[in-house]
Amino acid sequence: MRQHILPALKLTAVCIGFFCGVYTLLIWGIAQASPAHGQGEKISVNGKVVGFALEGQSFTQDKYFWGRPSAVGYNAAGSAGSNKGPSNPDYLKDVQAKVDTFLAHNPGVKKEDIPSELVTYSGGGLDPDLSPAGAKVQVKRIAAVRKLTEQQLQLLIDKNTEGPLMGLLGPSKVNVLKLNIALDNLH
């Protein structure tokens, strides 16, 4: 028994030392080498910080692109999903209410054309991005409200679309805050 417990205790001590000390300092050092020194990318307009690139925000006015709904009201201190499964009646009512709201504000869109990300919560409740399809389904509404052409908005979406990481990992995405800032700068 002693021949098993002593090596296990040694391995435990080494792992605690490595993961609590060395690994933590390594990750902190890498973060310090980043442009924002590990603080995240701040997005500023006219010298005023309006948000962070990795945090979603609520946009509900028809003149803006809407992002993914948040179960925590976009509160980063309480980041979490709704914890309701896809068969939960309350969850289904909530999704249906979001679908009805979206259709009311986007009359030319059919229910089956709404990307699920526009009516369902993300796991952390702070998703800052949409798929290009999630942005493009909103073009008619925004074009009508802002008196812009749909082509202008399509080009704006294309210009603000980030491809997969290294061209391979993950989907293409559009940061909603950056897109809405670019939209405001069109005028």
Q: Are residues 10 and 66 in the same domain?
A: no
Q: Are residues 22 and 54 in the same domain?
A: no
Q: Tokens 């310090």 correspond to what residue?
A: 32
10-residue averages of pLDDT along the chain (187 residues): 87 92 88 77 80 81 90 77 81 91 91 91 82 94 93 94 84 92 87
pLDDT for 43: 79
Distance CA 16, CA 113 (A): 50
Contact 13, 21 (CB under 8 A): no
Q: Are residues 20 and 101 in the same domain?
A: no
pLDDT for 79: 75
Q: Are residues 14 and 95 in the same domain?
A: no
Q: Are residues 145 and 128 in the same domain?
A: yes
- Specify the pTM: 0.78
Q: Are residues 21 and 80 in the same domain?
A: no
Tokens of 176: 């909603």
Q: Are residues 95 and 77 in the same domain?
A: yes
Q: Are residues 5 and 94 in the same domain?
A: no
Q: Are residues 59 and 114 in the same domain?
A: yes
Q: Are residues 106 and 135 in the same domain?
A: yes
pLDDT for 143: 93
Q: Where are the beta strands (DSSP E) in the chain?
A: 42-45, 48-52, 129-130, 161-162, 173-175
Q: Are residues 33 and 93 in the same domain?
A: no
> How many CB atoms lie under 10 A from the CB of residue 180?
22
End-to-end CA distance of the chain: 76
Range of the domain at 71: 41-184
Tokens of 91: 């969850």
Look at the chain and report how many structural domains it folds into.
2
Contacts of 98 by beta carbon, 8 Å cutoff, 6+ apart: 69, 118, 119, 120
Q: Are residues 89 and 20 in the same domain?
A: no
Nearest 10 degrees: CA dihedral of 114, 131, 62, 58?
110
DSSP state of 104: H
